[in-house]
Structure 1
């Protein structure tokens, strides 16, 4: 074992999962969180994230099957449910329900491909105009409680959590790394895991990486997304999660959980928010024009919802090229950006991949290592 702890910057889903996986393996871990775990300034707050298996790329469907085993273990260890089963529907010509069904069939994931009439009879709260894919194994993740559960397991295994510790710089220090905080505190670490979410673009140049790695790093785009909560016309109706992709808009929705007072559907436009430099520019203000666009969509296509939002929120998407994840390592610095708006559902598996990369210098998933491919890291 190294003489100094492995430091993890960020206590969102990715950082918490990595801390849990490393600590349970007996490694000394310290988690450095700029605020508190799963706080509202990050990407892992709140009680509602979609868990689904539908991807046009079979790789991600297979990855989700692996990740679900991690969720099952996490729920067993917690002793309470973290995923509310709801099932999920995919529809819209640009979503290609038939193509997604073929991927699920190859992966042996239970599903049904329905006509618009069949789907409308089952879910009268939606207006369908074409085939609809249903898969029952989908659900809603309580992201906030998942973070707290994984952090709790990590601390229980010996990890240390430091709140209100804003990392601003990582410096090579012999064979180790010196991490400096905004307040002037320091931590000496044998390795560093950076799971900073939307803060990563602002932090990247201060991680002690060689210039070659910084120049080769994929361009990240941070968006300030927004979600609106709409009340159900029939509070007794069971609503699934959904993704509707048309040529002009892509919208997703899910039962809002505590975020919506358990009485409405959380609806958002995928990558519909404004582009910002990093999480430092997150102002938590919902854009009125984008709000109106989403209200209009609900009024036209979701007759089971009252098109008058009763709550709204903003969150951050940190997008990498082609919506891929980044789980890569340069020397003793591992960078996690398993984001692109769809990373939450993979959290336990992300922790396993990151722990493997930290301890064996190989996660086993080469497509998440763009720096290794470009500069031979």
Structure 2
């Protein structure tokens, strides 16, 4: 989100400094790896509408960078706790193409996937290469004059009235600016503690697994969101999926509570066991043994809405809760609007008020 904000702000001619505590392409937070889901399917009309503008901006980033970042394969929602009929109704209102299929027809269309109820399919879904997107955002911002500083951690943030802010780094340097956008993921509460009234932010370590397909030559499956006994998502694994286009699978909300500094980085064997059992039952077109696994961090609000607001010279940018990646270029635009005073925050993302 920080890199996306730098891209958006430099496209408007703003002077930008990016301070990143780790190196390029690091795996310490939530933005590494080659595959995240992009999709239009939400039961909430606000988010469904936001996905449309986000997809347009992803295409603008591809054109700007000359990199292919999106892989459009369509999207599936199913499961007794997913309510595909409700999502279909929302998409119809928003104007997103979609179709509801009986389980038997969906199984014929996508051999190797199993269904037991109505299935929603919409074509405007797929994956984005997360690591390549961060690189593209940062490189294009740098080409427009942004000063991108890696291995530069912020130690203290000090507002200087309503229109200036000072940032002190651990190497003793100081940056003074009109605005500071704090898009620090799992570190945001530590950086802003006492400065703004943050909602409760819970950091969890999630696990993801990659499984080989029985028939690697078959057409790619759509991305899938499935809520039944487990709340899972699966998608083509991109570069992390290996040369045989393995499938990435994870639970949405089953990670243990941790912090940015205390996370173990080790996969929970109980999660691995659950996902292997899930693959055997619902994804018979896969070999039920993972060949790769990884962890990442979720930083979640109680209602899973984002935090995107401004207090004086500080813009707080925490669009997360495990579903923010698809919105990254749009979040960059919204954050830049707040920093420049162009708009007020979306009420549902504000630090107070209707939240």
Q: TM-score, with normalisation over the residues of structure 2?
A: 0.96
For residues 307 and 252 of structure 1, the distance between their equivalents in structure 2, rounded to whole angstroms, comes to 16
- Superposition RMSD on alpha carbons, in Å? 1.5
- CA deviations on 1:215-240 (whole Å, 9 max, x unpaired) are xx210011100000000001012211
SS in 2 for 1:225: strand
For residues 281 and 371 of structure 1, the distance between their equivalents in structure 2, rounded to whole angstroms, comes to 29
Q: CA deviation at 1:200?
A: 1.3
Q: CA deviation at 1:372?
A: 5.7
In the alignment, structure 1 residue 67 sits paired with structure 2 residue 54: yes
5+ long unaligned stretches in structure 1:
1-13
Contact 2:221 2:236 in 1 (8 A): yes
Q: 1:94 aligns with which of 42, 66, 81?
A: 81
- CA deviations on 1:59-88 (whole Å, 9 max, x unpaired) are 100010111111111111122321011111
- CA deviations on 1:237-285 (whole Å, 9 max, x unpaired) are 2211101101x31010000001121421000011111111x21122210
For residues 354 and 81 of structure 1, the distance between their equivalents in structure 2, rounded to whole angstroms, comes to 24
In the alignment, structure 1 residue 240 sits paired with structure 2 residue 222: yes
For residues 197 and 242 of structure 1, the distance between their equivalents in structure 2, rounded to whole angstroms, comes to 25
Q: CA deviation at 1:373?
A: 5.4
1:356 maps to which residue? 337
Q: 1:265 aligns with which of 247, 252, 260?
A: 247
2:94 maps to which residue? 107
Moved more, 79-88 or 221-230: 79-88
5+ long unaligned stretches in structure 2:
none
For residues 24 and 51 of structure 1, the distance between their equivalents in structure 2, rounded to whole angstroms, comes to 23
Identify the structure with the greater helix proportion: 1
Q: 1:231 aligns with which of 199, 212, 221?
A: 212
In the alignment, structure 1 residue 188 sits paired with structure 2 residue 176: yes
In the alignment, structure 1 residue 41 sits paired with structure 2 residue 28: yes
For residues 331 and 134 of structure 2, the distance between their equivalents in structure 1, rounded to whole angstroms, comes to 13
For residues 185 and 79 of structure 1, the distance between their equivalents in structure 2, rounded to whole angstroms, comes to 35
Contact 1:329 1:372 in 2 (8 A): no
For residues 64 and 279 of structure 2, the distance between their equivalents in structure 1, rounded to whole angstroms, comes to 39
For residues 364 and 65 of structure 1, the distance between their equivalents in structure 2, rounded to whole angstroms, comes to 19
For residues 333 and 370 of structure 1, the distance between their equivalents in structure 2, rounded to whole angstroms, comes to 12
For residues 262 and 176 of structure 1, the distance between their equivalents in structure 2, rounded to whole angstroms, comes to 50
For residues 280 and 204 of structure 1, the distance between their equivalents in structure 2, rounded to whole angstroms, comes to 16
Contact 2:308 2:345 in 1 (8 A): no
